Amino acid sequence: MSERDVDEFAPDLIRELLFYLGENPDREGLHDTPRRALKAFQHFTSGYKQDPKAILKSFEDGAENFDEMVVQLGVPFWSSCEHHLLPFWGVAHVGYIPSSRILGLSKISRLIEVFARRLTVQERLTVSIAQALMDGLDARGVGVVLQARHSCMESRGIQKAGTITVTSVMRGVFRDKPETRAEFLALVNHAVGGQTL
């Protein structure tokens, strides 16, 4: 099926879903909903059309004699749970220690966005960000901590609003050297400082 066929067919699926839910997709308020919903889903999953490797532009210039931690804290993200197609959102804390190249600062946020704009789970999202940085930079180490709220848990099922799930992935020296891990986590904890999402 071509992309054009999908664009023609997908609104019909959303119309059928509206019927299934007991709605009338022809009423005025819902008339354009199938196309609007399709456009929203395309935005929510736009990461599938992006190559993480293409984002990781790095530089030797500026990296000479630099072997300390580079950390970005509190990067907002929005993603979609693959189990219920419902949003989860939060902040990412990412650090790395370069070997010979440094990353343009905006690239960390862009990388997070590529993986967040796919159907995923928080655990995979955390791993994907860490591994892409490790591989793309040949970094000495990478640490990633995500804090997120999940509407699939807050609005249905257990319905525990405000619950924050934390995942972390450590690679290289962040995993192998306790002092490096501790330094990174201390920076994360300081930045968080009782913040709520």
Q: Stretch 7-25: mean pLDDT, rounded?
A: 88
Task: List the 165-172 sheet strands across, edge first.
Answer: 119-120, 70-81, 87-97, 141-150, 165-172
**Signed CA dihedral, 99, 102, 105, 110: sign only:** negative
17 within domain boundaries: yes
Q: For residues 92 and 164, state if they share a domain.
A: yes
* Cβ count near 122 (within 10 Å): 19
Which positions are catalytic? 81-84, 122, 150, 152
Please check whether residues 86 and 151 belong to one and the same domain: yes
Name the average pLDDT for the chain: 90
Question: In this structure, are 29 and 98 located in the same domain?
Answer: no
Which residues are within 8 A (CB) of 147 and not within 5 positions of it... i.e. 6 or more apart?
Answer: 90, 91, 93, 164, 165, 166, 192, 197
Give the mean model confidence (pLDDT) for residues 45-58. Answer: 92
Residue 91 pLDDT: 97
Structure token digits, residue 169: 């992935």
Hey, how many other C-beta atoms are within 10 angstroms of the C-beta on 44? Answer: 17
Backbone CA torsion sign across 71, 76, 77, 81 = positive
Q: How confident is the model at residue 112 (pLDDT cuts 50, 70, 90)?
A: very high
Residue predicted with more confidence, 137 or 119: 119
Which residues span the domain enclosing 110? 53-192
Q: What is the pLDDT of residue 6?
A: 55
- Binned at pLDDT 50, 70 and 90, residue 192 comes out as confident
Q: What does the pLDDT read at residue 130? A: 98
Buried-exposed string 128-150: b where 16+ CB fall within 10 A, e elsewhere:
bbbbbbbebbebbbbbbbbbbbb
Count: domains in the chain: 2
Query: Do 85 and 36 belong to one domain?
Result: no
131 and 153 together in one domain: yes
Q: Do 61 and 83 fall into the same domain?
A: yes
Q: Are residues 89 and 155 in the same domain?
A: yes
Assigned domain for 197 exists: no
**For the ranges 64-73, 115-124, 149-158, which has the lowest average pLDDT?**
64-73
Helix (H) or strand (E) holding 190: helix 178-192
- 195 pLDDT more than 70: no
Strand runs labelled E in 30-136: 58-59, 70-81, 87-97, 102-103, 119-120
Please tell me whether residues 18 and 106 are part of one structural domain. Answer: no
| 140 is a domain residue | yes
Do 91 and 10 fall into the same domain?
no
* In contact, 98 and 162? CB cutoff 8 Å: no
CATH number, position 11: 1.10.286
Co-location of 183 and 115 in the same domain: yes
Q: pLDDT value at position 88?
A: 97
Among 5-9, 112-116, 144-148, 184-188, whose mean pLDDT is lowest?
Answer: 5-9
What confidence score (pLDDT) does residue 67 get?
78
Encode pLDDT of 52-94 as tens digits: 999 988 877 666 667 789 999 999 999 999 999 999 999 999 9
More confident residue, 195 or 79: 79
Q: Per-residue pLDDT for 1 more than 80?
A: no
Distance between alpha carbon 62 and the CA centroid of its chain, in Å? 28
Secondary structure class of 90 (helix, strand, coil)? strand
Q: What percent of the chain has pLDDT over 70?
A: 91
User: What CATH number does residue 78 fall under?
Assistant: 3.30.1130.10
